[in-house]
Amino acid sequence: MTAALALEGLTKSFGKTEIIRGVDLAIGKGERHAIIGPNGAGKSTLFNLITGRFSQTAGTIRLHGTDLAGKAPFQINRMGLSRSFQITNIFPKMTVFENVRCSLLWAMGYRYNFWSMVGRSRALTEGADAILEQINLTARRDLPAGVLSYAEQRALEIGITIAGGADVIMLDEPTAGMSHSETDYIVDLIRTVTVGKTLVMVEHDMGVVFGLADQISVLVYGEIIATGTTEAVRANPKVQEAYLGGVLEDH
Amino acid sequence: MSDQITSEPTKPAQRMRAGSMVLPLAPWLIAAVALVVLPFIFTNNSAITIMNQMAITIIFALAYNMLLGQGGMLSFGHAVYAGVGGFACMHIINAEDFFAGLPLPLLPIFGGLFGMGLATIVGSFSTRKAGTVFAMISLGVGELIAACSVIIVAFFGGEEGISGDRTYGLPFFGVEFLQQIEVYYLIAAWLMISAILMYLYSRTPMGRMANAVRDNPERAEFLGYSARWVRFYSFVASGFFAGIAGALFAINYEILTEENLNTTQSGIILLVTFLGGVGFFFGPILGAIVFTLVQTVLSLQTELWAFYLGIIFVATVMFFPGGLAGLLMMHVPAWRMGKIGHLAWPYLKTLGGGLIGSLGAAALIEMVFHLRHASIGDHEMTLFWTTFDSHTVLPWIIAGVTTLIGFGICRATAPALVEAWNEANAAPKVAP
C-alpha cells in the first residue's frame, strides 16, 4: 500500500543554512501523525515544503504516490491535501458562512465558474451549514470572521481546512495560544472532524499530541531522530536525550 | 426561493453588503424606472448630456471596482481598456461597409471585446502579483499605451484623435440616433445590462473567490484556487465592462482622443470609485453621480472646481475611507433600531455649521483667486449672487467671519453629535 504521504531524503536550505537535513518519513493512510520537536527544529518549514509553500532543495515528497515537485499550493490542495496555519489564516472581512462556502467551491466542482449564482446552490449552502454545525459556529454564521474570538477563529480555520473534503489534513499547531478549556474543545473538534482521514500535525502541547496522535515523529535540527508509536518514542533514549538533555538546555 | 431565504443573512445591513446577497429586485426596478423617467424631468439638452456622461462613468466605475473593491487590485491605468475599446469602436464606426450593417446598439459589445482582449494580454503578466507590483505594472502599461497614442497615429489618430458619425449605422427599428435623447436611452439600456451583469458576477463562484483572494490570497491558494488566475479573470471581466464604457463614450461624443486613455483619466476613475466607496456594489454608482455633478455643475460656477473636488477626495480618504456608500451604510443600524430621528437635529446643527463655514472658506478662496488672477483693473467680482469689489476690506471680513462662525458652530456642536451618534447606535437596553 502506498503511503498517504512519503518523504525521501528531503532537504531545504536557506542560503547556507540547512533547515531540513534529509528527512525520510512515511505516513500511512488513516494514520494520525504528530511531528514534535524543539523550537527551530524545522517543523513549520517541513509543513511548508509538503504543502508547496516552499520548494525543496533536494529529495522527494509524494502524496498518494504522486511526486509533488514543482506543484503550487493550489495544485497540491486539489490532490486532496489541506492545511491549517500556525497563525490564524482566514478571510477576516467575509462572513463565517462565506469563509466556509469559499472553501467548498473547488471541491464541489465550481472551478472558475462565472455563470452560476452561489446563493442559489442548495448543495453549497447546506454543505457550508453542515460544516458550521460541525465546528459549532452556526450561531456566528453571519458575522464577519474577523470579529470572532481567538478560539472561534481557530475552529473556523479547522473548518475551512476540512471543508474541501481533503483526505490528508495537516494542522500546524492547532492549539497554539489557547487556554486549557479551549484546547480541550479544539482537540475534541479535531478528533471528530478528521475521522477516517490522514492527520499530520505539528504540536507543542504533549497533552494534545498524546490525545490525538497514534504515531509520533521527533524532529531535531532538521532531522527525524525517532518515529513510532507514542510509547516507543517516549522510551527512545535519543528522544529523552534531545528533550531532557541537550536541546532543551540550549533554550 | 426557500433556499435563498435560509441561505442569506436576514439583516439588511448585511444583505446590502456587496458580498452577501441575492438579487433583490426593488433597487433595480427603481433604477430602471428612474432611467426611463429622468429625461422627462430634465428635458434640456445639457441635462441629457450630463446624464449620458454620468451613465458612462457609472459603468466605468463599476468595472473599475471589480478590480479595486472586489478583487483588491489597485490599478493606475484602467482608462486604457475603456479608451482602446472606444478607439476600436470609432474605427468600426468609420468602417463604412461593416458599420452600415451593424445596428448602433450592438456596437458596445465590440468595445467590450476589444477592452477584454487588451486586458487578456496585459492581465496575463500583470496579475501574477497583487499589491504594489500590480499597481506599478498598471501604471507602466497605462503610460505606455498613452504614449503610443501619439506614436501609432493610424489607430489613435495622433493629437486630434479619431472621430466619426454614429448615424451611419444600420437603423435600429427606425432609430438613427441623430438626437441626444435616443443616445441617452441606448446608454441607459447598456447601463442597466452592464450593472446587472457585474452585480451577478459578484455572486458567482468567481466573484466570491475574487473577494477571498483580495482578503487572503495565500489562504485561497490552499483552498484549491490559484490566486493569480482568480485575479486574471477579474481583470479580464473588468476590461470587458470598461470597454463597454469606452464604446458608449465613442457613441456619445463621436470622438476619442489621447485624453480618454491617459493617466489623468485613470486617476479620475480611481477617484470616482473611491469617493463612492469601494466596499459596496452601489458605491461607484454614487461616486460617479456625485463626481459628474461636481464636474459639470460646479465647473460652470467656478474655475476652481478641480480644487474643491480634490479637497472632497482628500477628506473622503482621511475621514470616510468607506466613501459615500460607507457613510450611508453607517446609518443602517440606527435606522433599523428606529433611532435615526435622534440624529436629525444634531446633524442639522453640525453640518449646517460646516456648510456655512465651507461656503465662507470657498468665498475666501475665490476672492484670493480673483485678487491674484483677475486682469489688472478688474476689481469687481460676483459671488453667491452678490457683486462686490474684491479690493475692499469689507467682503474679506464678512467671508472671514462667516468661515469662523460656521466652523465654530461645527466644532462646538460636534461633541453633541458624537453623543447622539453613540446613543442612536447603542443596543436597546431591554432584557432579552
Summarize pLDDT for A192-244 with one digit per residue, the tens: 999 999 999 998 888 888 889 999 999 988 999 999 998 888 888 888 877 75
Nearest to B212 among A51, A102, A164 (CB): A102
Q: Higher confidence at residue A156 or residue B319?
A: A156
Output DSSP code: residue B171: P
Split at pLDDT 50, 70, 90, the class of B428 is low
Q: Could you tell me the strand order of the sheet in which A32-36 lies?
A: A81-83, A168-172, A198-202, A32-36, A215-220, A223-229
The whole-angstrom separation of Cα B87 and Cα A63 is 52
Q: Any idea which residue has 454620468 for its cell?
A: B54
Q: Which amino acid is at B402?
A: T
Q: Which residue range is the domain that position A76 belongs to?
A: 5-250
Q: Any idea which residue has 482568480 for its cell?
A: B230
Q: Higher confidence at residue A225 or residue B7?
A: A225
Cβ pair B224:A120 closer than 8 A: no
The verdict on residue B227 lying in a domain is yes
Count CB atoms within 10 A of the CB of residue B154. Answer: 8
The whole-angstrom separation of Cα A80 and Cα A161 is 11
Last residue of a domain, one of B297, B323, B349: B323
Q: How far is CA A195 from the centre of its chain?
A: 14
Counting the structural domains of chain A, the total is 1
Q: By the 8 A CB rule, do A59 and A10 touch?
A: yes
Judging contacts by C-beta atoms under 8 Å, the chain B residues touching residue A120 are 3-4, 22
Q: What is the CB-side half-sphere exposure of residue B384 using CA atoms within 13 A?
A: 12
- Helix A150-163 to helix A122-134 angle (10° resolution) is 130
Q: Which amino acid is at A8?
A: E
- Mark whether B310 and B344 lie in a shared domain: no
| % of chain B surpassing 90 pLDDT | 49
Contacts (Cβ under 8 Å, ≥6 apart) of B32? B192
| Averaged pLDDT of chain B | 87
- Mark whether B348 and B227 lie in a shared domain: no
Last residue of a domain, one of B323, B356, B383: B323
Q: Is B341 exposed, middle or buried (0-12, 13-18, 19+ CB in 10 A)?
A: exposed
pLDDT value at B430 more than 60: no
Of A29, A20, A74, nearest to A49 by C-alpha is A20
The whole-angstrom separation of Cα B342 and Cα B336 is 13
- Return the bridge partners of B387, or none: B382
- CATH no. for residue A153? 3.40.50.300
Q: How far is CA B268 from the centre of its chain?
A: 8
The whole-angstrom separation of Cα B218 and Cα A52 is 11
Count CB atoms within 10 A of the CB of residue B33. Answer: 10
The whole-angstrom separation of Cα A55 and Cα A50 is 9
- Mark whether B92 and B195 lie in a shared domain: yes
Averaged pLDDT, B385-414: 86
> What per-residue confidence (pLDDT) applies to A231?
85
Q: How many CB pairs under 8 A join A and B?
A: 116
The verdict on residue B123 lying in a domain is yes
Element at A244 (helix H, strand E) = helix A237-244
- Mark whether B123 and B22 lie in a shared domain: yes
Per-residue cell: B253: 461624443
- Mark whether B7 and B75 lie in a shared domain: yes
pLDDT in tens, A11-62: 999 988 899 999 999 999 999 999 998 888 889 899 999 999 999 999 999 9
The whole-angstrom separation of Cα B272 and Cα B292 is 9
Q: By the 8 A CB rule, do B37 and A154 touch?
A: no
The verdict on residue B289 lying in a domain is yes
Counting the structural domains of chain B, the total is 2
Q: By the 8 A CB rule, do A187 and A219 touch?
A: no
Q: Higher confidence at residue B199 or residue B304?
A: B199
Output DSSP code: residue B67: I
The whole-angstrom separation of Cα B208 and Cα B30 is 26
> What per-residue confidence (pLDDT) applies to A1?
64
- Mark whether B74 and B163 lie in a shared domain: yes
- Mark whether B149 and B65 lie in a shared domain: yes
The verdict on residue B202 lying in a domain is yes
Contacts (Cβ under 8 Å, ≥6 apart) of A207? A183
> What per-residue confidence (pLDDT) applies to B243?
97
- Mark whether B346 and B231 lie in a shared domain: no
> What per-residue confidence (pLDDT) applies to A244?
58
> What per-residue confidence (pLDDT) applies to B372?
83
pLDDT value at B23 more than 80: no
Q: By the 8 A CB rule, do B359 and B384 touch?
A: yes
Contacts (Cβ under 8 Å, ≥6 apart) of A117? B22, B200, B203, B204
Judging contacts by C-beta atoms under 8 Å, the chain A residues touching residue B234 are none
The whole-angstrom separation of Cα B282 and Cα B27 is 10
- Mark whether B282 and B395 lie in a shared domain: no
The verdict on residue B38 lying in a domain is yes
A15 touches chain B (CB under 8 A): no
Highest mean pLDDT among A222-231, B202-211, B292-301, B315-324: B202-211
The verdict on residue B313 lying in a domain is yes
Helix or strand or coil: residue A183? helix
pLDDT in tens, B41-94: 988 888 999 999 999 999 999 999 999 999 999 999 999 999 999 999 999 999
pLDDT value at B12 more than 60: no
Residues from B in contact with A at Cβ < 8 Å: 3-4, 6-11, 14, 19-22, 200-201, 203-209, 211-212, 215-216, 218-227, 229-230, 233, 237
Nearest to A114 among B8, B201, B211 (CB): B201
Q: Higher confidence at residue A167 or residue B432?
A: A167
Split at pLDDT 50, 70, 90, the class of B274 is very high
Q: Which residue range is the domain that position B279 belongs to?
A: 2-323
Q: Any idea which residue has 501609432 for its cell?
A: B152
- CATH no. for residue B178? 1.10.3470
Q: By the 8 A CB rule, do A12 and A63 touch?
A: no
The verdict on residue B105 lying in a domain is yes
Q: Higher confidence at residue B373 or residue A124?
A: A124
Cβ pair B215:A114 closer than 8 A: no
CA distances from B41 to A18, B34, B38, B45, B47 (A): 75, 10, 5, 12, 10
Q: Higher confidence at residue A241 or residue B181?
A: B181
Spell out a b/e string for A203-236, using b for 16 or more CB atoms within 10 Å of the CB, else e: bebeebbebbbebbbbbbbbbbbbbeeeeebeeb
pLDDT in tens, B98-151: 888 889 999 999 999 999 999 999 999 999 988 899 999 999 999 999 888 888
- Mark whether B218 and B317 lie in a shared domain: yes
The verdict on residue B431 lying in a domain is no
pLDDT value at B432 more than 70: no
The whole-angstrom separation of Cα B92 and Cα B188 is 21
The whole-angstrom separation of Cα B128 and Cα A142 is 32
The whole-angstrom separation of Cα B325 and Cα B283 is 5
pLDDT value at B272 more than 50: yes
Judging contacts by C-beta atoms under 8 Å, the chain B residues touching residue A53 are 218
Cβ pair A106:B208 closer than 8 A: no
With vertex at residue A93, the alpha carbon angle to CA A90 and CA A95, rounded to the nearest 5 degrees, is 80
Averaged pLDDT, A126-136: 92
- Mark whether B386 and B342 lie in a shared domain: yes
Q: By the 8 A CB rule, do B81 and B87 touch?
A: no
The whole-angstrom separation of Cα A222 and Cα A208 is 22
A122 touches chain B (CB under 8 A): yes
Last residue of a domain, one of B291, B323, B355: B323
Q: Residue B179: phi, psi to the nearest 5?
A: -105, 150
CA distances from B251 to B55, B84, B87, B128, B256 (A): 13, 14, 11, 34, 10
User: For strand B386-389 and strand A58-63, is the pairing parallel, antiparallel, or unpaired?
Assistant: unpaired
- Mark whether B285 and B346 lie in a shared domain: no
pLDDT in tens, A63-112: 999 999 999 999 999 999 999 998 889 999 999 999 999 999 998 888 89
Q: Higher confidence at residue B374 or residue B88?
A: B88
pLDDT value at B22 more than 90: no
Q: By the 8 A CB rule, do A80 and A107 touch?
A: no
Judging contacts by C-beta atoms under 8 Å, the chain A residues touching residue B226 are 72, 74
Q: Comparing A61-70, B267-276, B383-392, which segment has the lowest mean pLDDT?
A: B383-392
pLDDT in tens, B227-264: 999 999 999 999 999 999 999 999 999 999 988 888 99
